[in-house]
Amino acid sequence: MGASALFLTPLLVACTPMKDRRPVQEIHVSAALQQAVQDEIITLHDLFQAWFRGESGGADAEFARFERALAPGFTIVTPDGRALDRSGILTAVRSGYGRDSSARIWIESAQVRHASDGVIVATYEEWQQSSAEPSRGRLSTAILQEDPATAGAFLWLHVHETWLPDS
């Protein structure tokens, strides 16, 4: 057996034919949880819009809402592939205060994809438009956790963003 065949053997053994896989079960999420997660996503991005427009007065109280939302081990992968930890994204957002008074950020198609034991996986489209550029969208996947310390609140554990084509 040649070297390439030896290399591929573990891959062939590990792959299960599609016909032998169990079907994906539908996920049943309460309307209340769906709405709460959608509200969390929109509210946080409304905060970003106000911050980048310079509408919040640069108040620490406004920024603290964002800080509280991010879990201690939070990470984000940006659409260009950069991975930032909690400190990195907090610094980036804080430094963007008032950068564009006409900036727009809006959310579309927010949907809970999975929820189990207080951990939620959600997807949404985030759209941004600035005075210097046309609107551009990204598909985001967020992993949230119900905040055990605050009823109705969520902690953001991870976000992964990908540019939407033709946007």
Reading the chain (167 residues) residue by residue, the pLDDT tens digits are 444 444 444 444 444 454 555 555 556 889 999 999 999 999 999 999 999 999 977 678 888 999 999 999 999 999 999 999 999 999 999 999 999 999 999 999 999 999 999 999 999 999 999 888 889 999 999 999 999 999 889 999 999 999 999 76
pLDDT at res. 116 = 94
Q: What is the CATH number of domain 30-163?
A: 3.10.450.50
CA–CA dist 100, 18 (Å, integer)? 49
Taking the model in full, what pTM does it have? 0.81
CA–CA dist 90, 70 (Å, integer)? 9
| Domain spans, the chain | 30-163
DSSP class of residue 15 equals: -
